[in-house]
Chains A and B, each alone.
Chain A
């Protein structure tokens, strides 16, 4: 007897993934993965950009001129959004894996977004309140 098993063509993985109906958990997974890739790329860049510290005060201050401009503060604030989403969703994942979170995973996802937006605005206040 031979049963026809639906096989999954790995080469079409993007189309295959996009064809699935997306639920909140699917969005959480893909955003977690995207923010994770962005963050590891940022960590590499961060180590490279701090290397002038080893060469003394003058070299470091010269390079930091670029990073102290206002537009960079805004970019750093947006980076914090990635950090926040990845951290809060990560906490949700740990709750699902190691506590009873699986029963409440959708509510936890909602709390992730609510707490995330509140903390994002709070960090904006911390970073930019001196301008007001």
Chain B
């Protein structure tokens, strides 16, 4: 019925969220790198991870970090496809793959973060 792409799908909310999550991710990502690599206390050993995960705040920060990272990344991937005039079924297939794989990996990440035990003292 409509010859041209409707402006109803302008992608305005995605555009704003890309930028907001991007700004927050810059802080998270660079902080994460410094935390992991600052010698001599190597942040990558199981002992260091366990010690960090004792604080619920660190778990919350990690959960927010992975959620924003996956949202920003997958929205970015979808925005690459937005440049092209895709047929409806192609768009639905790509969006399904993105959403399903995104949700799977987010819940996998949540289960890893939340499965680290609290040490009884």
Contact = CB atoms under 8 A, between A and B. Distances in A.
State yes or no: do A and B come from one complex.
Answer: yes
Contacts of A60: 46, 49
Contacts of B108: 47-48, 51
- Count class of interface residues, chain A: 35 or more
B34 interface: yes
Nearest to B40: A130
A76 B36 CA distance: 11
B29 interface: yes
A94 B19 contact: yes
Interface in A78-132: 80, 83, 87, 90-91, 93-94, 97-98, 119, 123, 126-127, 129-130
A112 B25 CA distance: 17
A53 B112 contact: yes
Nearest to B34: A126
B89 interface: no
A62 to B, nearest CB: 10
B46 A57 contact: yes
B97 interface: no
Interface of B: 19, 22-23, 25-26, 29-30, 33-34, 37-40, 44-46, 49-50, 66, 69-70, 73-74, 76-77, 80, 84-85, 101, 105, 108-109, 111-112, 115-116
**The 9 nearest A-B residue pairs measured at CB:** A40-B73, A54-B115, A87-B26, A130-B39, A57-B46, A127-B37, A60-B46, A90-B22, A47-B109
21 contacts: A10-B84, A40-B70, A40-B74, A43-B105, A47-B109, A47-B112, A51-B112, A53-B112, A54-B111, A57-B50, A60-B46, A64-B45, A73-B37, A76-B37, A83-B30, A90-B22, A90-B23, A94-B23, A119-B30, A123-B37, A126-B38
